[in-house]
A = this chain, B = another copy of it.
Amino acid sequence: MLRKSIFERNKKMKTSDALIVIDMQNEVCAGIYRREELIEQINQRILTYRKAKKPIIFIQHNDDELIKESFGWQMIPELLTASTDKYVEKTHANGFYQTELQKLLTDLSVKLIEFCGAQTEFCVNTTLVFAHGLGYQNWMQRGASSTFDSKWLSAKEIVDFYEKHLWDERFLQFLD
């Protein structure tokens, strides 16, 4: 049992070069699938990276429907942000699209990235697929992204489709 517990702790403590937290904003998270569990899981990862003194990068979306400086645009209050973290604003599902993200990762000597956040099929998928294409190695914990029911698929179907069918060993490695 001791052996297992040490192993479990190591797995939990495992960190990449940086944690990227995508779009955990009031409007994006309002009523999102598994909201409370998602926030708890992401906050745990933030605490782990903070303890390891590794960079944490918050990506924050704005566009014609999610107006900058509005309440919906702000990070959810439960999120364990700090003024010492890095923040990147974006206007497209791709966190690298017309942003400073790639330069920031280069400045921080990041090669291996852990991703989490919302929404699974939009900003999370697009940003990690683009990161992979740029040569970064990607990590993720299962359950660390979420989304909404769509007209075509439920949120659970979408998350399962990305985690089990698309991402694993192709664009990222799961930590657990």
Selected from B92, B129, B161, B171, the residue in CB contact (under 8 A) with A150 is: B161
Decide if A9 is an interface residue (CB 8 Å cutoff): no
Q: Is the interface of A mostly helix, strand, loop or mixed?
A: helix
Is residue A165 contacting chain B, with contact meaning CB distance below 8 A?
Answer: yes
Contact with B along A86-130 (1 / 0, CB 8 A): 000000111011000000000000000000000001100010011
| A90 CB to nearest chain B CB (Å) | 12
Q: Is A157 an interface residue (CB 8 A)?
A: yes
Q: Which residues of B contact A153 (CB under 8 A)?
A: 153, 157, 161
- Are B166 and A122 touching (Cβ within 8 A)? yes
Copies in the complex: 2
Total interface residues in chain A, CB < 8 Å = 24
Q: Which residue of B lies closest to A130 (CB)?
A: B133
* A129 near B165: Cβ-Cβ < 8 Å: no
Chain B residues closer than 8 Å to A133, beta-carbon distance: 94, 96-97, 126, 130, 133
Which residues of chain B have C-beta atoms less than 8 A from A160's C-beta? 152
B-contacting residues of A (Cβ < 8 Å)? 92-94, 96-97, 121-122, 126, 129-130, 132-133, 150-153, 157, 160-161, 164-166, 170-171
